[in-house]
Amino acid sequence: MAATSATTFLIGSPFGICSKPGSVQTRPLCVKSNLNGYSRGFSGLRAGLSSESQSSFLGGEMALTLVHSPYRKYKQGSSSSSQICASYKVAILGAAGGIGQPLALLVKMSPLVSSLNLYDVANVKGVAADLSHCNTPSAVADFTGESELSNSLRGADVVVIPAGVPRKPGMTRDDLFNINANIVKSLVEAIADNCPNAFIHIISNPVNSTVPIAAEVLKQKGVYDPSKLFGVTTLDVVRANTFVAQKKNLKLIDVDVPVVGGHAGITILPLLSKAKPSVSFTDEEVQELTTRIQNAGTEVVEAKAGAGSATLSMAYAAARFVESSLRAIDGDSDVYECSYVQSSLTDLPFFASRVKLGRKGIEAVISSELDGLTEYEQKALEALKPELKASIDKGIAFIQKQPVAV
């Protein structure tokens, strides 16, 4: 069937595509796409699929076109060819948890993943069995307990760590520190030993401290590459985009709000003045939106009334960052995301900002978005620094007090 001119192939896409109904696909799955005219470089998830056949989610002949961002332009009338191959291994550590399970489902749906390794201390075998029934290209394997941790990591291109205890009502991210710090330490030690070149995505809170913890562990192991260590702050961007679109009645797919700083409370700083499309906000709207974005996690914790924290939206945001990383590794030259990384943008050693991703990790930290801030944003930036510095120092001190793992 003829391809339509503009469709999207990202998380949430079907995978019986380009195959006849009832046919069996073999790996690696490759989908070729011709892009004519202008195209927009990839920056996170893009919703939507179109097909002449409007086949079901589970199969049918569908043609897909990558959605690209404004950073790249093709000459009118020219043709560029892209190829997607399911050829990457992703490991999720903490895959049986509230974030891990929906994250595993979303990653299972990625066209770039050939192997999905699920690790947890318990209850992961059933999760893997359930996911393995989904007719998407990636093979699913389960690993339980410390004795199987090494095997879950060997050959991984991306490792995601949602492991740890969730927030409960009245609990701050600092309350999580002692438990989750030890969990992250032990998992990152295993990553250093088994897949030191993998992209490492830290979700476990408090991210402001656990990313510095991971960095110190990797330094002790002699394998630290700051371009491949990421604190996943994508949820702050997802929330900012959603809330701004709702407030200003904008098309959500068009909204892009950079969020800088850290990943807790006042350290989360949405730069509303840099939002795209350009839109004006009253002082009251800026205060309202900023506060809601900063406290959105608490909003979910309180709404769940003791039954959990932000698991589904966090899984969605984490899946978006996994997809971005895989596209960068696969050679897409226009992949941009906000992330909490080692940075020289400020006087703090770690800072969240937009970064350009490439095959080997971070290719550039985008500094321009910190230029020309409003007075409100500049004051908020200065106000967040002491709290963020304290969290960073706490993480570094935690590792420096620990015996060096061999």
Catalytic center residues: 263
Q: Across 56-179, where does the E strand assignment appear? A: 79-85, 88-93, 113-120, 139-144, 158-161
CA 119 to chain centroid: 18
What's the CA gap between 218 and 229, in Å, rounded? 10
- The closest of 298, 288, 258, 286 to 376, measured between CA atoms, is 286
CA distances, 260 to each of 83, 88, 231, 298, 348 (Å): 33, 29, 12, 19, 12
Tokens of 315: 């899984």
Q: What is the largest CA-CA distance in the chain?
A: 63
What's the CA gap between 66 and 5, in Å, rounded? 11
Enter the DSSP assignment of 140: E
Residue identified by tokens 């998830």 is 45
SS (H, E, C) 331-388: CCCCEEEEEEEECCCCCCCEEEEEEEEECCEEEEECCHHHCCCCHHHHHHHHHHHHHH
Rg value, the chain, Cα: 21
End-to-end CA distance of the chain: 57
What's the CA gap between 249 and 265, in Å, rounded? 26
Tokens of 250: 């904008």
Is residue 65 within 8 A of residue 7, CB to CB? The reply is yes
Residue 352 φ/ψ, nearest 5 degrees: -90, 130
Q: How many residues does the chain have?
A: 406
